[in-house]
Amino acid sequence: MIVDPHHPDTAIARRALPLLDLTDLGDSCSDQAIATLCGKARASRVAAVCVWPQHIGRCAELLAGTSVRIATVINFPAGGTDIERAVDDAAEALDDGAHEIDLVMPYRTFLAGDAGMPTEMIAAVREITGRAILKVILESGAMPETRQVTEASRLAIAAGADFLKTSTGKSAVSATPDAAEAMLVAIRESGRPVGFKVSGGLRTVADAALYLAIADRIMGPGWVEPTTFRIGASSLHDALTTSLGGHA
């Protein structure tokens, strides 16, 4: 395949690939699937892999000596209310070699009008993670109104989130441009160095381009980099590498 370096898809693919959290959170994820995932991650030099906690150790073996980080999910996908369990799971994941924790905020509790318990959970996990990255998943698709996304974003930032993440990818509605815009505006207005992760339903180069454009418009050119912006996806990797002629 001949790649036109001036084609817009090529430029987007080159920009998006290093931002990828290459993800496998399938119910039947196997050791072979993890080996394949890590092989792609090594070849493409993505930002991170995102896997179930039981696969952290294997990823650590397969990614040793690379810059690819290991992320895992906590309180996932239901967003329950057991703070002690969330803290214990986060501590175990870090001991196993995780660099980043993607925590599902108790979004149903938040939507029911209780902001205290979600704040307490995020703060408790924040304390245990130390210098590791804490991404808080809002499950924005479950929030009927944009103002709720804004309020949840502010809550998570105040409680210590390093990143705001849109979705688990397990809900009926995943990432949307409106939610992304609300979350990024909340980050900008906070004045804090908080990143943004869009996740759920991104499959094409055009999908990546859409969310990169939103971030550029709200946060300004030069803000997007792996320390501030991530794309959580699985099938998107293939679309990006295809745009690059099958090569990272």
Identify which of 64, 74, 47, 70 has the alpha carbon closest to the alpha carbon of residue 237: 47
Confirm if 233 and 198 have CB atoms less than 8 A apart: no
Q: For the stretch 44-60, what's the b/e string if a residue is b when 16 or more beta carbons lie within 10 angstroms of its beta carbon? A: bebbbbbbbbebbebbe
Q: What per-residue string of b and e applies to 133-172 under the rule 16 or more CB within 10 Å gives b?
A: bbbbbbbbbbbeeeebbbbbbbbbbebbbbbbbbbbbbee
DSSP codes of every residue in 145-178: SHHHHHHHHHHHHHHT-SEEE---S-SSS---HH
Q: What is the pLDDT along the chain (248 residues), one digit of tens a residue?
A: 445 565 789 999 999 999 999 999 999 999 999 999 999 999 999 999 999 999 999 999 999 999 999 999 999 999 999 999 999 999 999 999 999 999 999 999 999 999 999 999 999 999 999 999 999 999 999 999 999 999 999 999 999 999 999 999 999 999 999 999 999 999 999 999 999 999 999 999 999 999 999 999 999 999 999 999 999 998 999 999 999 987 55
> Closest Cα to residue 54, out of 112, 104, 81, 93?
93
pLDDT of residue 4: 59
Evaluate if pTM is beyond 0.85. Answer: yes
Predicted local confidence at residue 134, as pLDDT: 98
pLDDT at residue number 165? 98
Q: Which residues pair with 62 in a beta bridge?
A: none
Q: Of 11, 19, 73, nearest to 229 (Cα)?
A: 19
What is the model's pLDDT at position 245? Answer: 85
76 burial via Cβ count (<10 Å: 0-12, 13-18, 19+): buried
Q: Which of 131, 27, 124, 33 is nearest to 84 (CA)?
A: 124
129/90 Cα distance (integer angstroms): 7
17: number of Cβ within 10 Å: 22
Distance, CA of 152 to CA of 161 (rounded, Å): 11
* Positions marked active-site: 102, 165, 197
| Ordered structural domains, the chain, with CATH | 8-237 (3.20.20.70)
Q: Which residues have C-beta within 8 Å of that of residue 194, sequence separation ≥ 6?
A: 157, 161, 162, 163, 164, 187
